[in-house]
Amino acid sequence: MRNLVNLLLRPIIAALVILTIADYPVHADPPLPIVAEQGMYIIEVYPQHHQMIVRVQGQIYKTYPIAVGNPSTPTPVGEYQIVYKGKDWAPSFGPRWLGLNVPWGNYGIHGTNRPDSIGQHLSHGCIRMRNRDVKELYELIPIGTIVKINGHVLGDSNHEPRDLAEDDVGGDVQLIQSRLKSAGYFKGICNGKFRSDTTAAIKQFQRDRGLAPNGIVTVKVYEQLGLLE
């Protein structure tokens, strides 16, 4: 009887093995390491003050001066995670790179060959550190660490939010997509990438609100979505 059961199970097990292998890319990258104490470290970034604070179990461990994005390519506001750590990408990135899981682009914390930029809004959106500081951070911070970048997703409170159109990317685009999705207009992924599906949703929203259906997010659209008073 045991031999009969083994004979019957053998093709089923073989099929499961084949399916498992077929579903896993031969050249796949190894999975990210599991973070044993996820949440022990938190990084807080304050772009307006060009400051990064590292907390360990809620207590301030160290504060670093940084450079952040210029007004046309701002550092993305929001809560992200360190998902990659690398060394020596290129001179402009300094000796270390800690990548963030921002869905609409490649952003990270890295060193620089422009130490004079520290304390200014001069990057293309990444967070720059002095090379000695980023080396220290690299050794301290595990993959999976939360990075909280503070500020308003619509930008400086003293200025109107930017007009948005197809091909724009950013946290403001993601916020618009989220509001449109909640209202039943947008069916895609809220990834901060303004593509044709977002344009179509904006146009339909504009028609229903009596606005010119041009697919451009203006102050009027922000107001109608409840994002501005």
Whether 126 is catalytic: yes
Cα 209 to the chain's mean position, in Å?
Answer: 31
Token digits for 120? Answer: 């200014």
Token digits for 139? Answer: 């050794």
Continuous H helices in 93-150: 131-140
The active-site residue, picked from 126, 152, 159, 190, is 126
The active-site residue, picked from 49, 110, 124, 152, is 110
Whether 190 is catalytic: no
Burial 77-115 (b: 16+ CB within 10 A, else e): bbebbbeebeeeeeeebbbbbbbbebbbeebbbbbbeee
The amino acid at residue 65 is P
Integer Cα distance of 88 and 142 in angstroms: 18
Nearest in space to 180 (alpha carbons), one of 162, 195, 160: 195
Q: For residue 166, what are the contacts with CB-CB under 8 A and spacing of at least 6? A: 194, 195, 196, 198, 199, 215
Give yes or no for a contact between 135 and 93, defined as CB atoms under 8 angstroms apart: no
Token digits for 170? Answer: 């950013």
The residues annotated with a catalytic role in the active site are 110, 126
